[in-house]
Amino acid sequence: MKVVLQNLTKIFPSRDKKAGGEVVAVNDFTFEIPDGKLIGLLGPSGCGKSTTLYMISGLQKPTSGKIFFGEDDVTTLATESRGIGLVFQNYALYPHMTVKQNILFPLENLKGKDKLTKTEMQERALEVAKLVQIDELMDRKPSELSGGQQQRVAIARALVKMPRVLLLDEPLSNLDARLRLQTREEIRRIQKETGITTIFVTHDQEEAMSISDMIVVMKLGVLQQIGKPQDVYDDPVNLFVAKFLGTPPINVLEGRIANGKICVGDAAIGEAAGVEDQDIYIGIRPEGFELDANGALECKLSNVEVMGRDVSIVSTHEASLNPVIRSIIDADNKIDLSAETVRFNIKPHKLFVFNKETEKRIYW
Ligand code: ADP
Ligand code: MG
């Protein structure tokens, strides 16, 4: 089921009338989520991810704009009638019920033509339990399960009604690192197997990048960029997106364009033919550095961290906005650890230039 958001906006009135200051949680969102895809809705805390998801679910009413499931306008439709499955950060299972009863619960409330027989319900519950691999745990209570298992029950419960759209709001945040990794792969597998259009909300860029067909990057209620994870990483439209994606994060330096050259201090580290002279921010991905004794960018060498296949050279430069510059290079490179400085050439496709005032990307 394709999901379309059209000029979707949510404004929360100020809690304190005198102080004023309403919150525009979601500001004029327009985008289309293709049928059967997994979309990662990504941005820092407070940028409006949950609000967007709640509007799609019907739990919150938009201030303006429209939501379509396929060709159906569902903007004013009640949550129960939308055919969605919801999973939240805290799993919210019924503690006094067994796993099986938790999964059956949404089916027992089906009315009219959707009503199922007892046998049908049992079959359906077992089917989703198998899908999320908890069919051995059906008679346990939630308190007898690990966090990861509880979250699987919550996913099974969201899937049992065969939703048209699956909505996941930071579903992995309560899990430890290893389980988070495992469960996110699990979610991806389940999504692929069922083909249900899924929106996955997270503030964790690595999580979103690793499982999404497409990511939507948000900042303060405003959509910044939408695209395949790799495309957004390789081609960020502004400094915010460039900084938000990638571990280790992008290195940002102050610089300027002068005579079509990208300059850090006196050093020309790249070409920007035809671009007007101006002050800029320069973003360089950690993998964008090449060691070269005659390289254009000279940095003070602080440390070299061995990471196996690669090494991370930690250095400093007065134009850098980050406390250190982190570059990742192949471990085969010989680095003179006793040297005071290290010189790099910068790979042109790993270097981005942003206008200093608007922080928008400058293209040439
Ligand atoms: P996220 O999920 O990305 O962390 P939210 O969608 O929860 O962000 O919130 C977006 C903004 O809207 C925040 O500034 C938040 O404080 C505000 N907000 C969310 N819900 C309400 C509400 N019920 N009343 C007033 N402000 C709200
Ligand atoms: Mg949230």
CA–CA gap between residue 354 and residue 224 (Å, rounded): 15
Residue nearest to atom 22 of ligand 1 (CA): 12
**Same domain membership, residue 332 and residue 196:** no
Query: Best mutation site among 50, 61, 88, 224 for ligand 1, i.e. most ligand atoms within 8 A of its Cβ?
Result: 50
Predicted local distance difference test score (pLDDT) of residue 17:
67
**Same domain membership, residue 301 and residue 333:** yes
pLDDT of 129 > 80? The answer is yes
Single residue among 209, 243, 277 that ends a domain in this structure: 243
Confirm or reject: Cβ of 47 under 6 Å from ligand 1. yes
Mean of the pLDDT values across residues 103-111?
A: 89
Mean of the pLDDT values across residues 358-363?
A: 98
Q: Which atom of ligand 1 is nearest to the CA of 13?
A: 25
**Same domain membership, residue 200 and residue 68:** yes
Tens of pLDDT, residue by residue over 134-193, are 999 999 999 999 888 898 999 999 999 889 999 999 998 888 888 888 889 989 999 999
Task: Report if residue 46 sits inside a domain.
Answer: yes
255 or 112: which leads in pLDDT? 255
Domain count, the chain: 2
Percent of the chain with pLDDT over 70: 99
Going from the Cα of 12 to the center of ligand 1, the distance in angstroms, rounded, reads: 8
Q: Decide if 8 contacts 29 (C-beta within 8 A).
A: yes
Predicted local distance difference test score (pLDDT) of residue 112:
82
Instruction: Give the start-end residues of each E strand in the chain.
Output: 3-12, 23-33, 38-42, 64-69, 72-73, 84-87, 165-169, 197-202, 214-219, 222-227, 251-258, 261-264, 267-271, 278-284, 289-291, 297-306, 310-316, 325-330, 341-346, 351-355
- Give the best-scoring range by mean pLDDT among 98-112, 126-140, 172-186, 221-235: 221-235
**Same domain membership, residue 277 and residue 223:** no
The ligand minimizing its distance to the Cα of 44 is 1
Residue nearest to atom 20 of ligand 1 (CA): 51
Predicted local distance difference test score (pLDDT) of residue 179:
82
Mean of the pLDDT values across residues 19-45?
A: 94
Domain that holds residue 323: 248-355
**Same domain membership, residue 184 and residue 45:** yes
Task: Report if residue 362 sits inside a domain.
Answer: no
- DSSP character for 91? -
Taking CA atoms, 125 is separated from 1, 92, 120, 185, 312, in Å, by 23, 18, 9, 22, 49
**Same domain membership, residue 219 and residue 131:** yes
Q: Is 161 helix (H, G, I), strand (E, B) or coil?
A: coil
Mean of the pLDDT values across residues 65-84?
A: 95
Task: Report if residue 360 sits inside a domain.
Answer: no
Mean pLDDT of the chain, nearest integer: 94
The ligand minimizing its distance to the Cα of 27 is 1
**Same domain membership, residue 223 and residue 285:** no
Which pTM was predicted?
A: 0.93
Residue nearest to atom 7 of ligand 1 (CA): 50
